[in-house]
């Protein structure tokens, strides 16, 4: 079973920041938070991951609360191409721990 909960959907205006929430209240100390997204008719795509510090890359920023029970993925300037299902996943980073996907959150970016 997925260890995260996400709202089913949200939308935002093109050019604005999209803040996607995720709850992972049972996360263990050795589990990381990963985000993937899946654009229609494509396979999932890795976005970002983190342990406890905030992380930023060319695609997004990840903000993890101090107690690590929740996180937010931020797309700073959403475009129409960011319309997708976004999956928040917790997994152990060491060794092999398969990705367990939930239903994700559907982000719709409107013009």
Nearer to another protein, 16 or 103 (CB): 103
Distance CA(71)–CA(66), nearest Å, equals 9
Query: What letter would DSSP give residue 5?
Result: B
**Distance in angstroms (rounded) separating the CA atoms of residues 111 and 80:** 7
35 binds another protein (CB under 8 A): no
Q: Count how many residues are written for the chain.
A: 111
Does 93 bind another protein (CB under 8 A)? Our answer is yes
Question: What does the alpha-carbon distance between residue 111 and residue 100 come to, in Å, rounded to a whole number?
Answer: 32
Q: Is 101 in the site for another protein (CB under 8 A)?
A: yes
What's the CA gap between 33 and 110, in Å, rounded?
A: 27
State the binding string over 51-80 for another protein (x if CB under 8 A, else -).
Answer: ------------------------------
**Cβ distance to another protein smaller for residue 15 or 46:** 46
By CB under 8 A, is residue 41 in contact with another protein?
yes
| Residue ranges binding another protein (CB under 8 A) | 2, 32, 36, 41-46, 49, 85, 87, 93-96, 98-104
């Amino acid at each position: 079973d997925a260890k995260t909960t996400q709202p089913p959907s949200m939308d935002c205006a093109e050019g604005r920041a999209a803040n996607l929430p995720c709850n992972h209240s049972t996360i263990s100390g050795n589990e990381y938070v990963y985000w993937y997204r899946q654009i229609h008719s494509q396979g999932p795509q890795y976005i970002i991951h983190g342990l406890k510090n905030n992380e930023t890359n060319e695609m997004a920023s990840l903000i993890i609360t101090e107690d690590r029970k929740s996180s937010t993925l931020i797309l700073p300037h959403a475009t129409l191409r960011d319309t997708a299902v976004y999956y928040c996943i917790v997994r152990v980073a060491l060794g092999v721990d398969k990705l367990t996907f939930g239903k994700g959150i559907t982000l719709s970016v409107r013009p």
